[in-house]
Each structure stands twice: as structure tokens, then as C-alpha cells.
């Protein structure tokens, strides 16, 4: 089973789709690593809006790796894209490479691959969810914006050492797209079965420690990597890492939510009967089990509040500011990221407004779609902020929104922020 993507339960987001046209045709495969590259355009040449509420009508097609096995043919089944934005550059993870793509043109600026060994390929399956690649992590390394991506690689036999597999961490300068360094760490014991299906994805960083989720079918584990020393600190199996907080990595097993000390992997706390966890805000987690929800202190695991609300199939997303939006098909709510207090809920009690199908939440804005088309809500009030944004982005920052073409078509495109 693949790692949870900071969600509570499974989720399917309904995204509008239609017939394709020439502009929205399937983009060409990304160029080989030997293809010529050039620097990304300065973001100062692009208008910035924090947060954007409208997007341009002309989008640039992104490489197929940006959405491969993440969106169904009809656009009705969607998983988070393996894409992280830094200014005007999209970093797209796959099992074989990390692509740096200019969002203005869709042109690949750099193709970064592991330094040793052969990375695995994306499974040849049309089904949504069969692509294990998840978004890379953006980390500030003493003020330098750095992209961290991970790969499963084959290690050749040397001397008396048998051939095997390892997890390789790749660090890339987010400004220049240049590879900085790589480091290899061992796969947690018991997860390397010697056959296809092993996956590794970065979860998050605290200080200079990166938590990496490693999974093989339904078996899951975590490796903590010291980014300064470029070596593994510890690893553990039987634990699904979901959230990195101050000094801890929180996750779950079949019967509880717990947190491990990032320094040594020792268990700091556990809360039984809760089986999924995601970030509520700085220092806070939202966890759920059958018919119950709790707001937990990330450092101690103590519950600040509990309720009997049903969060089955709900995904919660922190806006990076002060609100977390939780949603599933037909329902959405905004929560204060400090207290967990419900700020708004849709549909409303008067039944005059419907809930959007939420696609992204960022810096006080909630992006999504209704039967009336794309819409942007205010994250704190839940009121309509823009009813004609032109796009329901799945990934967004102040320069660009990435999502399915509003006019229909396969893959995803990047659209410039216009307001």
C-alpha cells in the first residue's frame, strides 16, 4: 500500500473534464538527460499574487510525469500530483528522474537522475494510484532553497557484497536546477523483497533530518536521513510516516497513531484507536479513527479536543498560514489551525450553498469546482472570493496554478497567475 498523502482516509476529487483540443493534446515525453538545458526565466518577469484568484487562459503543457497514473481518463479520480513549485519552476518527481520544468513554456530545464545504480520505472498500469511517485520536498539549507527527491536504486555487487537495492536522496539547488549532492541509505530490513514494487518518497524535514517513507505493497517503513552527514540515522518497519513536526515524525499503524523521535527513532507517544493523521497547523495534528476525530499536540500526543465527527474519506490541507481545510465529495469545512475551531462548513445550514470539490488550499484561498465551474473561497470565512478564476489548480503558488485544462484534454498544464 502506498504511503498516505497527508490525508485522513482515501479521497476522490471530481474534476471537470471534456473533449480535448489541439492545445491540450498529450505533451511529448520529457527529453533525455543529454538534451540541452538553459536557466529558468527570472520570476521577477512574471506577475505575482499572494494568493492568486484568477489565472490566464493560455496554459503550458507539462510533461506526462506530472500526472501519470494520478488522474483517471475521465478526470473523476484524482491523486495528488508529484509536483512541487519553487517560484516559476515546477519540480516533477517520478520513479526514474526528477524534472525541473519552466512553467511558462513547459520546457524541461534539467533532468536529474540518481548518481549510482538504476532507478525503477513507473509500473505499466493505467490505473490511478499505481504510480508511487510523490511530490519532492522543498528545504531551506542555511537559506538556500533546496529540492529533495528520493529514488529506489539497484546496487551492483562488489567484492563480497551481494547486489541489492538502496534509497538514494538527491539534493538540487531550487534556483539553478543544478544537482548538489546525492546520498545512499539502506532499505529498512524486511522491506526489500528483491522484486518490483519497492517505493521511497520524502515526507518532510525538521532541521537537517529528512524522513523518507519506504513501502513494499502493504508493508511500510521509515528511514531518517541526516542531511548534513548524508547518512541514515535509523530506520523502522511497521510504521507509516505521514507528518514531520518539530523533533518528531508522526504516522500510524493498524491500531494507533504515534510519533517517533527524529533523532533516534524511539517512540515518543501513541494514541490508540486513531489510524490516520495529517497536519492541522504548526505543532498540531488532526487524527481520526472509526467515528472519532482528535486534535493532538505534535510534541506530546495530548489531545486538545475530541469529537465523534465522521471523517471517513476526508482529506485535510493546511494553507501554510492559519487555516486548515478538510473536505470530501459533497462536504468541506475550514478549521482554525491554532485552536481547531470550525470556522465554516458547506453545505450551509440554510442549504443555499454547496461545497466545492476542493483541489488546493494556499495562503488564505481555497480552490475547487462546483457544477458552476471553478471557484475560489476565502479560507477563513468560506465565502466566495472569485467565481470566475478560470482554473481549479491542484498545485499553486503566487506565480502559477497547475491543473487539468478547463476546456478538457489529457494531462495537466500550468497557467500564469493573473490576479
pLDDT digit string, tens, across residues 345-357: 999 999 999 999 9
- What is the arithmetic mean of pLDDT over 10-19? 31
Q: In this model, does residue 379 exceed pLDDT 90?
A: yes
CA distance 12 to 3: 16
Helix (H) or strand (E) holding 248: strand 248-252
Q: Choose the most confident range, by mean pLDDT, from 14-23, 189-198, 292-301.
A: 292-301
pLDDT for residue 118: 64
DSSP string across 305-374? EEE----TTBEEEE-SSSEEEEEETTEEEEEETTT--EEEEES-TTS-S---EEEEEETTEEEEEETTEE
DSSP string across 267-278? EEEEEET--EEE
- Domains in the chain: ranges and CATH: 46-416 (2.130.10.10)
Query: Angle 305-309-311 (CA atoms, 0-180°, nearest 5)?
Result: 105
- What is the arithmetic mean of pLDDT over 359-386? 97
CB half-sphere exposure, 154, CA atoms < 13 A: 12
Which comes out higher in pLDDT, residue 409 or 59? 59
Give per-residue pLDDT as tens, 211-258.
Answer: 999 998 889 999 999 999 999 999 999 999 999 999 999 998 878 999
**Virtual torsion, Cα 368, 369, 375, 377, nearest 10 deg:** -40
- With cell 557484497, the residue in question is 161
pLDDT for residue 92: 98
Give per-residue pLDDT as tens, 173-189.
Answer: 999 999 999 999 999 88
3-class state of residue 229 by DSSP? coil
pLDDT for residue 195: 61
CA distance 249 to 259: 5
Work out the percent of the chain whose per-residue pLDDT is above 90.
68
pLDDT for residue 218: 83
pTM: 0.88
Q: In this model, does residue 294 exceed pLDDT 80?
A: yes
Which comes out higher in pLDDT, residue 32 or 120? 120
Of 417, 307, 342, nearest to 87 by C-alpha is 417
Those residues with Cβ within 8 angstroms of residue 262's Cβ, 6 or more apart along the chain or in another chain: 206, 207, 209, 211, 224, 233, 244, 247, 248, 249
Mean pLDDT of the chain: 87
Which runs of consecutive H residues, i.e. helices, occur in 37-91?
A: none
CA distance 122 to 137: 20
Query: Angle 363-109-132 (CA atoms, 0-180°, nearest 5)?
Result: 65
3 DSSP 8-state letter: P
Of 172, 93, 96, 168, nearest to 133 by C-alpha is 93
Q: In this model, does residue 90 exceed pLDDT 90?
A: yes
- Burial status of residue 70 (CB atoms within 10 A of its CB: 0-12, 13-18, 19 or more): buried
Amino acid at each position: 500500500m502506498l504511503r498516505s498523502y497527508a490525508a485522513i482516509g482515501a479521497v476522490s476529487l471530481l474534476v471537470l473534464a471534456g473533449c480535448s483540443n489541439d492545445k491540450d493534446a498529450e505533451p511529448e515525453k520529457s527529453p533525455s538527460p543529454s538534451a540541452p538545458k538553459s536557466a529558468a526565466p527570472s520570476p521577477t518577469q512574471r506577475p505575482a499574487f499572494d494568493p492568486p484568484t484568477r489565472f490566464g487562459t493560455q496554459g503550458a503543457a507539462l510533461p506526462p510525469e506530472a500526472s501519470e497514473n494520478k488522474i483517471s481518463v475521465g478526470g473523476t479520480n484524482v491523486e495528488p500530483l508529484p509536483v512541487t513549485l519553487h517560484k516559476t519552476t515546477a519540480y516533477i518527481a517520478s520513479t526514474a528522474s526528477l524534472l525541473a520544468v519552466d512553467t511558462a513554456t513547459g520546457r524541461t530545464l534539467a533532468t536529474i537522475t540518481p548518481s549510482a545504480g538504476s532507478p525503477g520505472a513507473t509500473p505499466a498500469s493505467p490505473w490511478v494510484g499505481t504510480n508511487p511517485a510523490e511530490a519532492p520536498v522543498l528545504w531551506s539549507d542555511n537559506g538556500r532553497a533546496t529540492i529533495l527527491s528520493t529514488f529506489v536504486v539497484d546496487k551492483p555487487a562488489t567484492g563480497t557484497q551481494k547486489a541489492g537495492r538502496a534509497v538514494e536522496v538527491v539534493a538540487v539547488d531550487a534556483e539553478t536546477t543544478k544537482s548538489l549532492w546525492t546520498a545512499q541509505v539502506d532499505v529498512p530490513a524486511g522491506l526489500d523483497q528483491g522484486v518490483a514494487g519497492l517505493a521511497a518518497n520524502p515526507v518532510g524535514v525538521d532541521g537537517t533530518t529528512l524522513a523518507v517513507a519506504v513501502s513494499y505493497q502493504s508493508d511500510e517503513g521509515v528511514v531518517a536521513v541526516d542531511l548534513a552527514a548524508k547518512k541514515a540515522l535509523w530506520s523502522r518497519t511497521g510504521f507509516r510516516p505521514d507528518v514531520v513536526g518539530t523533533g518528531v515524525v508522526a504516522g500510524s499503524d493498524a491500531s494507533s497513531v504515534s510519533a517517533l523521535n527524529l533523532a533516534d527513532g524511539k517512540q515518543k507517544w501513541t494514541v490508540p484507536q486513531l489510524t490516520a493523521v495529517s497536519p492541522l497547523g504548526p505543532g498540531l495534528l488532526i487524527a481520526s479513527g472509526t467515528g472519532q476525530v482528535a486534535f493532538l499536540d505534535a510534541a506530546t500526543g495530548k489531545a486538545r479536543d475530541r469529537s465523534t465527527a465522521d471523517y471517513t474519506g476526508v482529506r485535510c490541507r493546511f494553507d501554510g498560514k492559519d487555516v486548515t481545510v478538510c473536505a470530501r465529495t459533497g462536504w468541506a469545512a475550514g478549521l482554525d489551525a491554532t485552536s481547531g475551531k470550525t470556522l465554516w462548513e458547506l453545505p450551509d445550514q440554510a442549504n443555499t450553498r454547496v461545497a466545492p470539490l476542493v483541489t488546493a488550499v494556499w495562503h488564505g484561498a481555497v480552490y475547487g469546482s462546483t457544477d458552476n465551474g471553478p471557484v475560489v473561497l476565502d479560507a477563513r470565512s468560506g465565502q466566495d472570493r472569485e467565481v470566475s478564476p478560470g482554473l481549479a489548480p491542484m498545485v499553486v503558488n503566487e506565480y502559477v496554478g497547475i491543473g487539468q485544462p478547463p476546456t478538457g484534454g489529457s494531462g495537466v498544464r500550468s497557467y500564469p497567475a493573473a490576479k
